[in-house]
Amino acid sequence: MNPKIIKFSVMRYRPETDDKPHFEDFEVPFIHESSILDGLNYIRDNLAPDLSYRSSCRMAVCGSCSMMINGVPKLACKTFIRDYVKAGIITLEPLENFPIERDLVVDISDMIEKIESVKPYIVPANDLPDDKPNHQTPQQLEKYRQFAQCINCGCCYAACPQYKLHPEFIGPAALTLMYRYNHDNRDGAAQKRIASESREFGVWGCTSVGHCTNVCPKLADPAAAVQLDKQDSAFDYVKHFLSRRKKD
């Protein structure tokens, strides 16, 4: 089968030589099974060996190859060239709302710090014996399974208007993982997470636009997780309010 040809317009930026980002066009051959990542690999191997972008697993698991594809944040390995034939051109840019380091590579350290701030790991309850297993039933897993699909790709941050306007906002992925661990029966740190994130640019900083869910490549539904976080935060507030009234 003879491959077809499509144009890739790729944003280039090399800080050591460029004053600002610019686009460079490439003619890329493809077949029905070719992904956007396959096209980038072709460009790097045959046309522009200095092209910089991130990729790793090629299976939509690592989240490394996220970028703006025709203006929408997506994973390059999960997006197919065939879906852009009618458009006639594929425009690739680095993820929005993140500083550009080089070409399609962005600095995601702010997002990682925000995710780390919610302790995205199981913190065992103090009363759990060290020498006994920490069991979980399938029913308990289902309470948070969907939100555990997050792969920290950054697509939701690139689509989030609140994060763009207010970089202090903790963001969709962090709040999704907060709900995921707060509702894991093996975890004992829910109260600390809720207390630390119930601030102006914590869970209540979300304006419920929902773009995060629209672009999530793993269907983790961050928008739903954030609303559930707000429910937990409100319940926690009422509980503490009533507790103070009883003391008075």
pLDDT tens figures, 205-216: 999 999 999 999
Q: Quick one: pLDDT at residue 138?
A: 95
- Note if the pTM is more than 0.85: yes
User: What is the 3 state secondary structure string of 1-30?
Assistant: CCCEEEEEEEEECCCCCCCCCEEEEEEEEE
Structure tokens at 124: 């065992």
For the chain, what is the mean pLDDT?
A: 93
Task: Give Cα 160 distance to the centre of its chain.
Answer: 10
Task: Please give the domain boundaries of the chain with CATH numbers for all domains.
Answer: 4-106 (3.10.20.30), 109-247 (1.10.1060.10)
- Distance between CA atoms of residues 86 and 83, nearest Å: 8
Residue with tokens 């289902």: 142
Residues in the chain: 248
- Lowest mean pLDDT, pick from 62-66, 134-138, 142-146: 134-138
pLDDT, one tens digit per residue, over 42-89 is 999 999 999 999 999 999 999 999 999 999 999 999 999 999 999 999
Average pLDDT of the residues in 1-21: 93
% of the chain beyond a pLDDT of 90: 83
Kindly report, residue by residue over 77-88, the tens digit of the pLDDT.
Answer: 999 999 999 999
Provide the 3-class DSSP secondary structure of residue 147: helix
* CA 38 – CA 30 distance, rounded (Å): 8
HSE value, Cβ hemisphere, 13 Å, CA-based, for 154: 26
Mean pLDDT across 165-191: 95
Contact assessment for residue 182 and residue 120, using Cβ atoms and an 8 Å cutoff: no
Pairing assessment for the beta strands 89-93 and 4-12 based on DSSP bridges = parallel
- Helical segments of the chain, H only: 36-42, 109-117, 138-142, 155-159, 161-165, 172-182, 190-197, 211-215, 222-247
CA torsion sign for 18, 23, 26, 29 is: positive
